[in-house]
Structure 1
């Protein structure tokens, strides 16, 4: 039996991938810095192994992953979320026979960088709003001409994003970008690709938000966005998962504003049974599941509770909560949903301590910092 290693287990995305590989006859192992996690409660996961968090010691994290691959005999390594930027550096530590579902780190990090992505999209001839490094004098000129968005260079989940009115002061110098504000409807996506060819793309919009993170979402058909993504994937020769945030303006034109070189919640719209076969074989179809609206139940419960007293919002949230299917629940594998308040308690408690939504702290210990890991060649 082949073994696949997932490099994070705390998020529902990992659970979808684990269930798919298990259903395809693979043994699933999860490497996770947390002692307990969502996917670890699933019958689809054969073993969970605790590893060093990359935010604690990025080099140790990579060596821990390589050790798990070796000891568990993994044939495939699949990154899940923000840890993907670290996992991209794992290739030199792996045997040649092990497949790593990640692009070279130089490209991954360029696209994770807000400025690097904007430049890459522009080079591909795609629409992206004017974007400058915060310390570039051109950023001041842009901010004097129009409303702008200031974003940390490597932020995720909306952390540190600020809207600055035209002519207002910019923040002090820091690793950040200044981007022209595009007014319109925000869309997100999740794509699986192979050698520059899109296998499938899910485009979706948030239906219930926790801060800036969608915890309820709806899949939509948007050919212009799909064409934008296909052109970007072809230009970069991308293989693996990649995702984008885009704004569609009043004229219907999509503008790429961020790239996530990893999965997003859009993964849930793919048919679970197709995920593993499509990762293993680009010719295998990756179909959509029948539901167009999905939610993360416990996060939606929290948002509904928080809206109590704001009666129009509360009623809308109640309708959403009881009228939308959860991404995690499976009758044949119920424990991940039922035990989530316990398995996710480290994240829940940290979110409460900081007074921020769950999504803003869920990946703090695995996200990429400007320092990053020490390359393997450095010794």
Structure 2
């Protein structure tokens, strides 16, 4: 790729399909793209959209070294904007003061990022703002468990957790003696919701939504982490996101998980103040780069007929019972054939060709940290609320 006269953007988490698509979108719009990751082999590294790749320390295990390395790259390479993709967003926002003023971090202040990321704090925020939410309780000890007063089924998950990780459905009176308690990362008990499920992705600046996508939860790992993405219009969700983002003055990537209950209406389950899979619904002609740089006065949305999938993820998980969610296997075959893989591009084939090697490195991660494939993919880029001390 030849360097363009556009902006120079640095995008994190190069192994991610989200990063790959955003790099392609930025490059197609004439911007120079630099990619970083703690793994040496990530699919975006091999894309024609990438002008440079740097291996960096793990943001989870070496957060200060990670940020200092990004500062060095930003200065040496004259980076205009850093766009974090996963939970390194929280770490970068915590240490935003390290970065030169000429390099914009596309995120919000740490207090905002943390409040939206931590599931119990987000539920409390909805309550304070008088927005419809689900009954919830935070469990930090056996005494908290004994005090639970749910009369209907509820979900159990860590306040710092991800969609592909364990979410337990519990009935009142079930034995919860198996719960283990972790300082700084308690459990969230949250009323079990029903209705059609949707996820969103939005690009925001100074409290304004400049790009937005919504997609129903269909095929998903264990019913939680989406594998197939269809762009849909949902005015109610767009209005909710627009008003919430304006209220908190958010800047950055943000996504929400919704249930559309036929009796109650929209219920917001949780917030992800980072990029979500919705970025993969956008195409080059949509010009989403204008949203990142604040150069649009109209809302940018993907085409309504977009149908994307993580092909390898569908092959590994899409046909399983929890993912099918009542569908027949022939439905899976039909949908798999109809959807377009997010990695494959006829004019940028190397990421797809390098995908097996990239997954070998992920599998090494899984063995090292003794986690499953879905967890291993992002394990060294997670942030679970631990305070980071900057020495010197």
What is the TM-score of this pair, normalised by structure 1? Answer: 0.91
User: Does 2:78 match 1:79?
Assistant: no
Q: 2:98 is matched with which residue?
A: 93
Selected match of 2:317 from 303, 308, 312: 303
Q: 1:362 is matched with which residue?
A: 377
Separation in structure 2 between the aligned mates of residue 121 and residue 282 of structure 1, nearest angstrom: 31
Change (3 A) 1:118 1:77: same
User: Does 2:290 match 1:277?
Assistant: yes
Shift of 1:159: 1.5
Between 27-36 and 119-128, report the one with greater CA deviation. 119-128
Between 123-132 and 237-246, report the one with greater CA deviation. 123-132
User: Does 2:70 match 1:65?
Assistant: yes
Change (3 A) 1:86 1:190: same
- Are the counterparts in 1 of residues 212 and 301 from structure 2 also a CA contact under 8 Å? no
- Are the counterparts in 1 of residues 219 and 318 from structure 2 also a CA contact under 8 Å? no
Separation in structure 1 between the aligned mates of residue 83 and residue 340 of structure 2, nearest angstrom: 26
C-alpha RMSD of matched pairs (Å): 2.5
Between 182-191 and 269-278, report the one with greater CA deviation. 269-278
> What SS does the corresponding residue of 2:70 show, helix, strand or coil?
helix
Q: 1:33 is matched with which residue?
A: 38
Separation in structure 2 between the aligned mates of residue 250 and residue 338 of structure 1, nearest angstrom: 44
Separation in structure 1 between the aligned mates of residue 124 and residue 318 of structure 2, nearest angstrom: 40
Q: 2:306 is matched with which residue?
A: 292
Return 5+ residue gaps in structure 1 as ranges: none
Selected match of 1:228 from 214, 219, 240: 240
Q: 2:152 is matched with which residue?
A: 146
User: Does 2:69 match 1:55?
Assistant: no
Q: How does 1:334-349 map to 2 (within 5 A)?
A: 334-348=349-363
Count of equivalent residues: 375
Change (3 A) 1:352 1:52: closer
Change (3 A) 1:60 1:353: closer
Separation in structure 2 between the aligned mates of residue 110 and residue 6 of structure 1, nearest angstrom: 23
Separation in structure 2 between the aligned mates of residue 145 and residue 305 of structure 1, nearest angstrom: 34
Shift of 1:259: 0.5
Shift of 1:109: 0.9
What is the TM-score of this pair, normalised by structure 2? Answer: 0.88
- Are the counterparts in 2 of residues 271 and 287 from structure 1 also a CA contact under 8 Å? no
> What SS does the corresponding residue of 1:192 show, helix, strand or coil?
strand
- Are the counterparts in 2 of residues 144 and 167 from structure 1 also a CA contact under 8 Å? no
- Are the counterparts in 1 of residues 220 and 318 from structure 2 also a CA contact under 8 Å? no
> What SS does the corresponding residue of 1:220 show, helix, strand or coil?
coil
Shift of 1:289: 3.4
Separation in structure 2 between the aligned mates of residue 239 and residue 157 of structure 1, nearest angstrom: 22
Return 5+ residue gaps in structure 2 as ranges: none
> What SS does the corresponding residue of 1:365 show, helix, strand or coil?
helix
Q: 2:126 is matched with which residue?
A: 121
- Are the counterparts in 2 of residues 51 and 64 from structure 1 also a CA contact under 8 Å? yes
Shift of 1:10: 0.9
Shift of 1:172: 4.4
- Are the counterparts in 1 of residues 71 and 100 from structure 2 also a CA contact under 8 Å? no
- Are the counterparts in 2 of residues 9 and 32 from structure 1 also a CA contact under 8 Å? yes
